[in-house]
Structure formats: C-alpha cells, structure tokens
C-alpha cells in the first residue's frame, strides 16, 4: 500500500479570545489545512498572543491602545512567518506523523463533511471558510488572499460536490 500524500495545503488562522469581567485577551492560532485524497489534516503551525491584556472597561481606543497595537504588530508578523515555515515543513512529513506531532492536530474525513462554505475575499470581514460535518462546525479565516482561485481549485479537486461559494 502506498503512503497517503498531501495534495495541497491552505493556511488559516482562528481568533482566540478569553474574556473575563476584568480583562479581554485576544490572539490567533495558525493552522494548515492539509488535503489528502481521503481527508483533511488540520495541523497547528503557530500561535500569537498579544503582549498585554486589554481592560474590558476600556471601550474606546486611546493612545495607549494604538501604542500597544504598534508593539504587537511586529510580533504578530513574526508569528505568521514562523507559522508559514512550519507549514512548509509539515508538507514533507508523512500524514500520520503530522497527526502525531501535536495533540492539537486532527483529521476530518471527507465522508463526514456535509459541506464547505467559502466566502469570496472582502477587505473588511476577511475570508471565512466553514467546514460543516454531521457533528461539528469548523470556522477558519484564510491567510493568503491572493490565492483564492488556487484554493478553490484545491477544495474542488477533493470536495467538488460539497463546496459552496458565496
């Protein structure tokens, strides 16, 4: 039996937010969706957590908020670059090794997928991708806006009858 190969990957991120009465912390989890002939391997490639928490009582942007954004921006860029390098390394690994390399990694078999909803690129709201299975809904934001046509082609190559573009 031949080893399962990765056909292509799509870089994504998911916003994480932990909110309490006092603080609000927001960051990003970077993941690669690795498409094989029979499943999607979701592999975490990195995380970005901001330098400092924001106070929930600060409902309006202040000069300190803009300064915090300036401090976090290079760190966020660095986290994305590291995630891209990690994604490139994952593609070289056997599929089972990717799954075993991190407890956060998991698979979605194509038979479980009801549909995949992809929204066309938009400057304001990003580029959502939703994978709906019989038991769960997975939501992602795609990283490479300039790759829309290639990403649609990749998804169609394995899930042609389940892809909905809006």
pLDDT digits (tens, 9 = 90+) for 88-142: 787 788 899 999 988 989 999 999 999 999 887 766 545 788 999 999 999 988 8
Question: Helix, strand, coil: what percent of the chain each, to 5?
Answer: 30, 40, 30
Residue 80 CA to residue 135 CA, distance in Å, equals 30
Question: Collapsing DSSP states into helix, strand and coil, what is residue 151?
Answer: helix
pTM for the full model?
0.76
Residue 68 CB: number of other CB atoms within 10 A? Answer: 16
Q: What is the mean pLDDT of residues 57-68?
A: 43
Residue 60 CA to residue 115 CA, distance in Å, equals 39
């Amino acid at each position: 039996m031949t080893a399962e190969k990765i056909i292509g990957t799509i870089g994504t991120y998911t916003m994480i937010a932990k909110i309490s009465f006092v603080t609000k912390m927001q960051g990003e989890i970077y993941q690669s969706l690795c498409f094989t002939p029979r499943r999607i391997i979701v592999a975490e490639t990195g995380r970005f957590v901001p330098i400092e928490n924001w106070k929930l009582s600060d409902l309006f942007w202040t000069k300190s908020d803009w300064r915090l954004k300036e401090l976090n921006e290079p760190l966020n860029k660095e986290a994305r670059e590291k995630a891209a390098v990690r994604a490139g390394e994952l593609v070289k690994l056997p599929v089972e090794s990717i799954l075993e390399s991190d407890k956060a990694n998991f698979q979605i078999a194509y038979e479980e997928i009801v549909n995949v909803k992809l929204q066309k690129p938009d400057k304001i709201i990003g580029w959502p991708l939703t994978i709906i299975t019989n038991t769960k809904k997975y939501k992602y934001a795609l990283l490479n806006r300039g790759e829309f046509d290639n990403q649609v082609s990749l998804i169609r190559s394995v899930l042609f009858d389940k892809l909905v573009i809006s």
